Chains A and B, each alone.
Chain A
Amino acid sequence: MMKPKYILLGLALAGLTACVDLNEKLVGTVTTQYYANGAGLDAAVMGDYAQQRGFWGLEQSYVLTELGTDLETLGDQTTFTWFGTYAGGLAASDGHFQNTWNPFYQAINTSNAVINRAPAVTDMDPVTKATRIAEAKFLRALDYFMIVQFFGPAPLSTTESQGAVTTAHRSPVDSLYLQIVKDLRDAIAVLPATQNNLGRATKGAAQALLARVLLTRAYHPYPYEAASASFYLASSSFLREAGATSATDFAGAKAEADSVIAGPYSLLTNFVDNFCVPMGARGPGSYCNLPANENNAELIWSVQYSAVAGQYTVGLGNTNFVQMLSYYDDRPGMTRDCNNGRAFRRVRPTLYARNLWQRWTDSTHTIVLDTRYDGTFQSVWYSNAANTGACFRSGGVMTGYSTTNCSFLPTFGGNCTNGQNFVLGDTAMFQPGYIVGGAASCTGPGGACSQTYRQSVKYAVVEPALTEPGANPTVIGQYDWFRFPTMKKWQDDQRPDFNNTDGGRDVPVLRLGDVYLIAAEATCAAAYGTAACTGAQGTILPYITTLRTRAANCLNRFPGCTAAVQTANQAMINDATHLPATITLEFILDEWGREKYGEYWRWLDLARTGLWHRVPDNNWQASPAHGGFFTEAKHHLRPIPQSQIDNTQGGIGAFPQNPGY
């Protein structure tokens, strides 16, 4: 037998000499040392882009920019309804503000890290390095621009946070703008006109953003800023670069916009192609000639999204495709699918918005004037579910039907045998946005004409309510809280399943269409404050008519639209009836609405122009006259998130809240 004492001796020696290393060796973790070389710096810039997804494409982006404006109000499934009504819940504790504030400041810190650390990076070619710095400045400018528009005075830092920073203070609005303009001018000087990677900032992107920034700054100071300058401004008057004034800002905005218009971008032939990804048709004007059209000639810069695993954080895809959709999946012949989307029913157009586009309101014309309505809203649903309902059942139990088709109702579909279940692909629902049969001949729900027409076409016809506010929005017409024009710009059928919210659609932040309107508005508002545009009407018009002419394009898109019809349409949309002789800022804001409905800018358009009266005038849920709580004195800014105040050393004393909150 082995001698136990040797076993013991061995154990003792092993034990006493055993030693462990207490220094940590990093295996799966990366530290900021990585930023010291070129690959790391490149990764930081890519991270900087990725952080834009913290706002654009998430819930906070549409909630803060679209809901509760003159154009958009609540659907039946909105959970944060105070954004539509401006009720007490629109307060510092609402998470949407924190979810906006935090990502932008995280991105700013990343930009700062890139800009601060780049000089020490030696293994990168100088041109690439300069471009990356310029990209970081572009992003930092965008971040600060969004922050200052939503929140007013805000912390300003151009250096990376090293260690725990526990203090913060609100820098004046004008000093934020000075930094934004400076960053953009720096970026414009360096950025190339095109980049090898789609989605990287280009010179045009920086110019388009600068145009918008200057246009916005030109309106400053607002009366509320002038009234308490010490809170908002660095000095008693709004501070700009030496020699700059409100007028030069307007002129600068126009100059930058003109430069972009002259640049490598061009308007697409059809408005709808901007929002076209490979997907099924959704009604007149939806047919997509340009598959996979996210990166097109009109696009200047977008926040990139992807449906490819590993290119997005699970749970944080672009979720906004679901928000503005109307209820369809309970209709006969329909079930929820990817193509038609997961209808969250959170945002619906106001009556004002529905009437914004100039269209025929009766059946005597083949197409509508402004195709941007059909480029924005879906009008046809094709049956996607067998055995879920019989045709001819719209509007309740049918007792008979006529075979006479009305020429103005689309004649798609029709494999369904009368009274039997829909056949897949049949037209199941038609929601044209106007009263079928014409206002004159239609006496409302149950009226003889309308009922006959509906019966004739096998599918359900959903017609608009003609008035609002109303006791129940459903009383007239068939629109209500859950059935309304369904906003299809962000529809996304590339998701793995219909309930998945990790959308892969890019968020176009800047496109050429905007730049025309920026130019028009800058020309118009050159002397801000007058009712009508002060710029020469003749110099404003070309920007507007260019967009409107494009909006009248219908060739091969709408039934019956020939080249001749299109030409007539283009003339008509700009004639004296449809385009007023005197362009006003109000008209330009309408045009913004027609062009950019749902594109995450509307609240900022109102804030910029100060035309806040449009909210209570046009959005009855927000209007105090109808139980809403909108107050311009308070709601021209968003509240500072409570966590920023709570976590700042000194609390509310060191970091004051915006007035009224």
Chain B
Amino acid sequence: MKHWILVLAALSVGANARAQNTGRLTGTVTAAEDGRALNGAVVSIVGTNRTAFTNASGVYLVEQVPAGARLVRVRFLGYAPLQQTVTVGADRTDTLNFQMVSAPVQLEGIVATAYGEQERREVTGAITSLNLGELRDVPLPNPAQLIQARVAGVDVVSTGYRPGAPMNVMIRGVRSITAGNQPLYVVDGVPLVGGGIEDFNPAQIASIEVLKDASATAPYGARGANGVILITTNRGAAGASGGTSSFTYDYQYGAQSALHFVDLMNGPELAQERIDAYRLAGRTVSYASIFNPPELNQAYCALNVKTNPTTGLYDTTAAGTSTWQAVHPGCQTGTDWQRSIYRIGSQQQHRVSYNSIAGNARLSLSGTYFNQSGITVGQGFKQYSGTISFENTYGRLRIGATATGSRSVADIGGDSQLWGEATANSSLGLPYDSAGTPYATLCSVCTLKINPSGDALRTNPLREEQGFIHQQISDRLFGSLFAEVTLPFGFAYRANLGPDLQNVSDGMFQGANVVLGSTPIGNSQAGLATREAFRYTLDNMLTWSYTTGEHKVDATGLYTITQTRFQDDSASSKTLPYDYQLWYNLGTGSAPQPPISQYNQTATRSFMGRVNYTYKNRYSLTVTGREDGASVLAAGHKFAFFPSAGLSWQIGDEQFMKQFTFLSGLKLRASLGTTGNSSINPYQTEGSLNQTFYNFGSSTANGYVPGQIPNPTLVWEKTAQLDLGADFGLLRNRISGTVDIYREKTSDLLLTRALPPSSGFASTLQNIGKTGNAGWEFSLTTVNLTGAGGGPRWTTDFSFTHNQNYIISLAGTTGDDLGDRWFIGQPVNIGLSGQSGYDPLHQVFYDYKFIGIWQLADSALARQYGEKPGDPRVADLNGDGKIDGFDREIVGNSYPRLIASIYNRVTWGAFDLSFLLQGRIGYTFIDGFRENTDLFDRYNNLNVQYWTPERCDGGPDPTKYDPPPGETAAQQAAIPGCNVWWAPSAGRQNPPYDDLPSNSLGSASPAYRVGTHWRVRNITLGWTLPQKFVNRVRGVHSARVYVEAQDPWVFTSYYGYDPENGGSSGPPSYRTVLVGMTLGF
């Protein structure tokens, strides 16, 4: 680090050499309401490039200010900008203090926009800025969580609950069916083409802007359709003491626990269900045939049946004098597999940062170490990241660079499959083998069983946790370099280079006898996949600013290219000689698998022009046009033009509005424009052959068959968008807010169109169809208590998002596409359950209507449908006497009707408290848990009521269950439990496992759930230590300690792990409670 400072100093000296007659300007910036020091306010000398930031005490220092009368401007997010003239003397230090008045961020201040920044007043687009001053107080692991529940119109949802799992971010719903719906992230002006925002540490982020409408996103043209999230990383700030450097250390430690477990059958419940199921299927004769040998004694115990005193085994003939329970007390509950792979997780983070200003040079360094163990045994996530940011000015030239490097190590293990194993394993199985006794608690030498219940497809989760290792190491090196020169006549030129290198090494090891999912392997195998992506963006930008009288013009011209090169290769081998090599010595495996490698390259070339014009500081117009060309599209269709225009009117400043004294500000906005989506895979236009594998005798005969239909006409997906918005402030900005309504239409939809398979192809990618989005967003900030006079300051942010997504038209004139679940007027369905590309958050459910269970009284009717009592019953909607594809209906969709959030923040003296509550209201999801493990006799089941025939009464009786043909009363009586365990079935809703289910139609029908949940996202309480305490420690200037709870509660009626990400079967969602401290030196 020293070295860097020297370099900077040298550079500064070079710059200083030319400075003459300069002085220094210093002062403090405080909040007008409560006198609080404002940390990070930008002070600039208008007409020069001299700027400085305030430190934690609100002190700034600008050096080398040309002597004379200077206009000084100060800006800080959340406060109205101020400017004041001061005379700076040569070779002396002048003082100028500012008291800033808070103002809604949506009304005043500077805002980052596409390829630049703008006065908020002049912005015509829908842009939400986040007040990061507050966000910094709430440490979060993923940058996407910074905007989660904070920005109207943005929906951020976890993709899973393993440590390090990425987040799914959607802005104003989905447009595309196949081309992806994730927004574009732009970090320090460089588009993050490959995504992966989770590689950046949130603590390194200085500000976030969310660009939502066409006026704001059109400068990104073909990539702007899904909205844009602008991220600016930290630059240097002045030292804590008003000096030139500061040093901050932040530490936090937390513990994690599961929010919820699922109620599965314990030993007695499962044993009883199994007996009922076998009985119904007409096959029960003895315990030995119902239960696998390893379960048998557990079942005796669970059911408390008599056992032979000599052999200890169940014996129908022996006069039982003892029971298994009596011999083995406590054996009856069975194994709780969920808790066997669960632990209390932990999370910790260290972060150091150094900021320095020397003359015009700013330097920022930071490093973060994050380590989360997670609540699933074997999982974990570590991230090491560092950022260096530097900026300096040499006369007319400003040069800067930011480089971020990170390494993330995710231990994924079996993840959801492991939880699937834990929930599916029979509670009658025992985890350990031991000599003489089956009970883990009693065994002295315990070895883990392979198949605890004797079922060859269900293996021991504890063993799999050890035998299934999946580790993903991601390295990312991301840079942004720029040079900017100020030219005569208001022109400026800027060049931007953004290289981005991403490397993922994905190792997977499966030990012998590990059966995850349904791919049992029987011997050890390992594989290593490496993915490397290199991308760069090169921008050339010419800007022109011109102000004359009431007219202000800013114009931008841009030429930009991007190129991406992607390669991946993987190797795997089976039957490894020893396990501890994992995937690091694949050559030793006796069954190496064919290596796989892949390569692709894409490029884009674009021109963009934009003009912002403001008249009388009241009327603003933005016109943008972008011409985009992309290699992934067909020849002759590669280029497309994306125009947009936006208008804004500060109507609140008009004379005729002055009579409304309650109104402190009102701005109206309107924008219209087109953006695009080019996120299709390369080479799709060419058509391709698929390799096939074959052999003639022992010789290889691999061939090629038609794979993809060539599509020489693929063009951009285009989204036209109209947005009307208003930003307002009321009662001296005690209440402020933003309302937007919008309507979007996406046409030339890139659609994987299902074809009749008789053509030899199942589908092709085409530009067909249109989708629409219509919605509104409303956000409101109230200042409930101003903090005046040193009292508490309490602000509340509300945000409400409603988006209606719908399909306008599809391929040709055929209307609905049943195969893909695309219906005119309904939201977009992305992927089908159980197939690749399945997106649980964007589903339209089209299925049979579940109306209960066929009852005995309906036997005759059931038979007409090819069904029988006990089978699930679905409605014959068209009444044609059979259940077929035409009896399906739209059951619901997974799109929430409303997303709402409430954020409260209270500061009082040294204390700050914040509280964020979010609700997702009115969506349907498929209960994956119910769907997959519902009453299947080999595995464990949800602990639910189930259907049984009334009882085994031995004779043919139309009102009673008809026993299997030929069964006599005597035979029935010999069946264990006949007339003893069977209860009348009245009111029971769920079918037991049935050996001969009549069909699988509507097997998912009972699994649809209406979801509405409220979630406490986080609660943070912080205490900034008084200076008199802090100052007792040498070198420490500031200190804050805090307690935070992340996701502490979710309020839902769903019994599974979490409804948010579509009711997946695990791992469970978890809460984190952490404590932390921040020290400034």
What is A's interface to B at a CB cutoff of 8 Å?
Answer: 1, 4-5, 7-8, 11-12, 14-16, 18-32, 34-35, 40, 42-51, 53, 74, 76, 80-82, 84-94, 98, 101-102, 105-106, 108-110, 112-113, 154-155, 157, 160-161, 163-168, 197-200, 295, 304-306, 308-315, 329-330, 336, 342, 397, 469-475, 480-481, 496-500, 620-621, 626-627, 629, 641-652, 655, 657, 661
CB-based contact B706/A32 at 8 Å: yes
Contact of B702 with A330 in the complex, beta carbons under 8 Å: no
Inter-chain contact A31/B687, CB cutoff 8 Å: yes
Q: How far is the CB of A441 from chain B (nearest CB, A)?
A: 25
Complex interface residues of chain B between 727 and 775 (CB less than 8 A to chain A): 753-762, 764, 766
A-B contact pairs, 13 of them (CB 8 A): A101-B758, A155-B758, A163-B710, A165-B756, A166-B811, A166-B814, A199-B697, A304-B696, A311-B695, A472-B967, A475-B971, A642-B884, A650-B814
Which residues from B are CB-within-8-Å of A90?
A: 866, 999
- Which chain B residues border A40 with CB–CB below 8 Å? 704
**Is B592 an interface position by the 8 A CB rule?**
yes
Contact: B967 with A306, CB < 8 Å? Answer: no
**Chain A residues closer than 8 Å to B696, beta-carbon distance:** 49, 197-200, 304
Residues of B within 8 A of A (CB): 11, 14, 282-285, 289, 292-293, 311, 394-395, 397, 399, 454, 456, 483, 485, 493, 495, 497, 515, 519-523, 538-540, 559, 561-563, 574-575, 591-594, 597-601, 603-605, 629-632, 635, 638, 682-683, 685-706, 709-710, 753-762, 764, 766, 811-812, 814, 817-819, 863, 865-868, 882-886, 963-968, 971, 995-1001
Q: Provide the residues of chain A in CB contact with B709, threshold 8 Å.
A: 161, 163-164
- When the two chains form the complex, which single residue of B597, B698, B884 contacts A92, counting CB atoms closer than 8 Å? B884
Nearest-neighbour CB distance to chain A for B375, whole angstroms, equals 30
Contact A22 B631 (CB under 8 A): yes
Q: Are B762 and A166 in contact (CB under 8 A)?
A: no
Name A623's closest neighbour in chain B (CB-CB).
Answer: B965
| In the complex, chain B residues whose CB is within 8 Å of the CB of A5 | 397, 485
Min CB gap A324→B, angstroms: 17
Looking at the assembled complex, report how far the CB atom of A226 sits from the nearest CB atom of chain B, in whole angstroms: 25
Could you tell me if B965 and A471 are in contact, using CB atoms closer than 8 angstroms?
A: yes
Q: How far is the CB of A105 from chain B (nearest CB, A)?
A: 5
Q: How far is the CA of A157 from the CA of B540 in the complex (A)?
A: 55
If A472-B282, A475-B971 touch, does A15 touch B998 (CB 8 Å cutoff)? no
Do A106 and B692 contact each other (CB < 8 Å), given the known contacts A48-B705, A469-B966?
A: no
Task: Kindly state the separation between the CA atoms of A87 and B866 in the bound complex, as whole angstroms.
Answer: 5
A51-B705 in contact (CB<8A): yes
Tell me whether A469 and B965 are in contact (CB under 8 A): yes
In the complex, A32→B710 CA distance in Å? 9
Q: Return chain A residues, CB-CB under 8 Å to B867.
A: 87-88
Question: Does the CB pair B706–A109 fall under 8 Å?
Answer: yes
Residue of B11, B538, B632, B758 near A168 (CB, 8 A) is B758
> Is A29 within 8 A of B706, CB to CB?
no
- Quote the shortest CB–CB distance from A41 to chain B (angstroms): 10
CB-CB nearest in chain B for A654: B756
A197 to B701, alpha carbons, bound, how many Å?
A: 9
Q: Knowing that A48-B705, A163-B710 are A-B contacts, what are 15 other residue pairs whose CB atoms are under 8 Å apart, sorted by A's residue number?
A: A4-B395, A15-B538, A22-B631, A32-B706, A40-B704, A46-B701, A46-B702, A89-B998, A109-B761, A197-B701, A304-B695, A314-B593, A473-B283, A496-B523, A497-B575
10 shortest interchain CB distances as A-B pairs: A109-B760, A89-B999, A497-B522, A46-B703, A88-B866, A47-B703, A471-B967, A198-B697, A50-B692, A499-B520
Alpha-carbon distance A10/B283, docked complex (angstroms): 85
What DSSP secondary structure best describes chain A's contact surface? Answer: loop
- Residues of chain B with a CB closer than 8 A to A627's CB: 868, 965
Asked whether, in the complex, the Cβ of B686 is within 8 Å of the Cβ of A31, the reply is yes
Counting chain A CB atoms within 10 Å of each CB, which of B591, B701, B754, B811 scores highest?
A: B701
Contacts of A34 in B (CB 8 A): 689, 704
Q: Known: A397-B311, A497-B522. Contact between A23 and B631, CB under 8 A?
A: yes
Contact (Cβ within 8 A) A166 B755 = yes
Cβ B540 vs Cβ A43 within 8 A = no
Q: Are A30 and B883 in contact (CB under 8 A)?
A: no
Contacts A28-B598, A661-B884 given; does A22 touch B963 at CB 8 Å: no
Compute how far the CA of A50 lies from the CA of B694 in the bound complex, rounded to whole angstroms. Answer: 5
Least Cβ–Cβ distance between B716 and chain A, in angstroms:
13
Chain B residues, Cβ within 8 Å of A647: 754-757, 817, 819
A366 vs chain B, min Cβ distance (A): 35
A residues less than 8 Å from B997 (CB atoms): 81-82, 87, 89
Point out which of A28, A101, A154, A473 has the most chain B C-beta atoms below 10 A from its C-beta: A28
A109 and B999 contact, CB distance less than 8 A:
no
Q: Which of A31, A81, A295, A329 contacts B456 (CB 8 A)?
A: A329
Contact A11 B495 (CB under 8 A): yes
User: Do A86 and B866 touch (CB < 8 A)?
Assistant: yes
Q: Are A310 and B700 in contact (CB under 8 A)?
A: yes
Q: Do B760 and A31 touch across chains, with their CB atoms under 8 A apart?
A: no
Give the contacting residue for A1; candidates B14, B756, B759; CB below 8 A. Answer: B14
Q: How far is the CB of B214 from chain A (nearest CB, A)?
A: 25
Measured in the bound complex, the distance between the Cα atoms of B600 and A44 in whole Å is: 25
Residue in A closest to B559 when the chains form the complex, CB atoms: A16
A16 to B601, CA, bound (A): 22
Q: Is the CB of B761 within 8 A of A471?
A: no
Q: Which of A311, A471, A651 contacts B282 (CB 8 A)?
A: A471
Of the candidates A88, A200, A472, A499, the one whose C-beta lies within 8 Å of that of B865 is A88
Cβ-defined contact, A649 with B812, below 8 A: yes
A644, B689: Cβ atoms closer than 8 Å: no
Q: Is the CB of B632 within 8 A of A308?
A: no
B594 contact set on A, CB distance < 8 A: 309-310
Note all chain B residues with C-beta closer than 8 A to A626: 965
Once the chains bind, are B638 and A22 in contact (CB under 8 Å)?
yes
Asked whether, in the complex, the Cβ of A154 is within 8 Å of the Cβ of B758, the reply is yes
Which residue on B lies nearest to A313, using beta carbons? B693
Report the separation of the CA atoms of residues A311 and B562 in the bound assembly, to the nearest whole angstrom: 40
Output the residue of B538, B683, B690, B693 with the most chain A CB within 10 A. B693
Interchain CB contact under 8 A, A497 and B483: no
Chain A proximity of B348: nearest CB distance (Å): 41
Instruction: Evaluate contact between A16 and B683: CB separation under 8 angstroms.
Output: no
Question: Cβ of A12 and Cβ of B493 under 8 Å apart?
Answer: yes
**Set of chain A residues within 8 Å of B758, measured between Cβ atoms:** 101, 105, 154-155, 157, 168, 644, 648
Decide: A102 and B757 in contact? CB cutoff 8 A.
Answer: yes
With A336-B456, A471-B964, A498-B522 as given contacts, are A167 and B701 in contact (CB-CB < 8 Å)? no
Q: A341 CA to B615 CA in the complex, in Å?
A: 83
Among A47, A397, A642, chain B packs the most CB atoms within 10 A around the CB of A47
Q: A200-B696, A309-B593 are in contact. Are A15 and B559 (CB under 8 A)?
A: yes
CA–CA, A22 and B563, complex, Å: 10
Contact of A106 among B562, B760, B882 (CB under 8 A): B760
Smallest Cβ distance from A650 to chain B, in angstroms? 7
Q: Are B705 and A646 in contact (CB under 8 A)?
A: no
Among residues of A, the one whose C-beta sits closest to the C-beta of B694 is A50
Closest to B638 in A: A22
By a CB distance below 8 angstroms, the chain B residues around A155 are: 756, 758
Contact B756 A648 (CB under 8 A): yes
Residue of chain B at shortest CB distance from A303: B694
**B1000/A89 in contact, CB under 8 A:** yes
Task: Establish whether residues A110 and B705, one from each chain, have CB atoms under 8 Å apart when the complex forms.
Answer: yes
When C-beta atoms are compared, the residue in chain A nearest to B485 turns out to be A8
Q: Which residue of A lies closest to B598 (CB)?
A: A28
Task: Give the docked Cα–Cα distance between A49 and B693 (Å).
Answer: 9
Of the candidates B483, B559, B600, B702, the one whose C-beta lies within 8 Å of that of A11 is B483
Contacts of A91 in B (CB 8 A): 883-884, 999, 1001
Complex contacts, B311 vs chain A, CB 8 Å: 397
- Expressed in whole angstroms, the Cα–Cα distance for A5 and B574 within the complex equals 60
Q: Which chain B residues lie closer than 8 Å to A168 at the CB level? A: 756, 758-759
Residues from chain B with a CB closer than 8 A to the CB of A310 are 594, 693, 700, 702
Residue of B nearest to A30 (CB): B689
By beta carbon, the residue of chain B nearest A661 is: B884
* Chain A residues closer than 8 Å to B483, beta-carbon distance: 4, 7-8, 11
